[in-house]
Amino acid sequence: MSWTDERVELLAKLWGEGLSASQIASQLGGVTRNAVIGKVHRLKLETRVKVAGAAELVRPALAAEPVMVEESVEVATAQVLQMQTSLRSAARGGGVQGATAFKMEEPDDLDLDIEPEAPRAPGEVVPIARNLTLVQLTERTCKWPLGDPLSPDFRFCGNHSDDSSPYCQYHARIAFQPASERRRIR
DNA sequence: CCCTGATTCGC
DNA sequence: GCGAATCAGG
């Protein structure tokens, strides 16, 4: 695959929106993240504020000059996704498993993260979804769908899934229920 | 281990 | 110009 004008244009657009090199690579197809990074450098379009993994991702959107509403939403979305990734890795690094989940008893519904149809026992822990888009899924991200597939807000859980499984540990339990355990699920 | 971008250098 | 390998890092 070569760098046609169209592909370069898409690259520049996505890079400007704050997507990571690997995400852009998967969306372009036929190239690796290394290729994307290399191209970005050759094009000298470094404008993006440092990414370097975690730290501050709030600044860029606010510092940028006025943009059209729709574009702002896209940027904000990308940043939120990155933030979730950062928070997740931060929690993982601390070895505190509880930090990535919350008890169902607290009705502090963060809307997007709750699967209404999922039956849960009191006190059972529900993982917070990463809300990844289709192109962000990899071999080891949970592919449990969240929301309306026809909506632009459609996302996937995206939490880590064990090698062969298409779902994270939590959603695998829901997806592959033994007949004995399956009770009334509307 | 998962991920990020940066750089080098043979092609 | 291209991008795999490598480096440095969260």
Within 7 Å: CB of A186 and strand C? no
User: Tell me: the pLDDT tens digits for A134-169?
Assistant: 777 888 888 998 887 777 778 888 888 887 688 988
A156 lies in some domain? yes
Q: What average pLDDT score do residues A86-107 get? A: 40
C1’ C6 / CA A52, Å: 17
A74 lies in some domain? no
Judged by C1' against the alpha carbon of A20, the nearest nucleotide is: B4
A121 lies in some domain? no
**Cα–Cα dist A128/A150, whole Å:** 22
Candidate from A35-44, A96-105, A172-181 with smallest mean pLDDT = A96-105
**Positions of strand B less than 7 angstroms from a protein CB:** 1-8
Give the CA angle between residues A116, A118, A120 to the nearest 5°. Answer: 115
User: Tell me: the pLDDT tens digits for A52-80?
Assistant: 443 333 333 333 334 444 444 444 444 44
At A12, is the pLDDT very low, low, confident or very high (cuts 50, 70, 90)?
very high
Q: Which residue is it, tokens 């890795």?
A: A89
A9 lies in some domain? yes
At A39, is the pLDDT very low, low, confident or very high (cuts 50, 70, 90)?
very high
Q: Amino acid letter at A68?
A: M
Q: In this predicted structure, what is the pLDDT of residue A115? A: 44
pLDDT over 70 for what percent of chain A?
53
At A122, is the pLDDT very low, low, confident or very high (cuts 50, 70, 90)?
low
A82 lies in some domain? no
A28 lies in some domain? yes
A157 lies in some domain? yes
A142 lies in some domain? yes
Cβ proximity of A118 and A174 under 8 Å: yes
Give the number of domains in chain A: 2
Q: Could you tell me the residue range of the domain that residue A28 belongs to?
A: 5-43
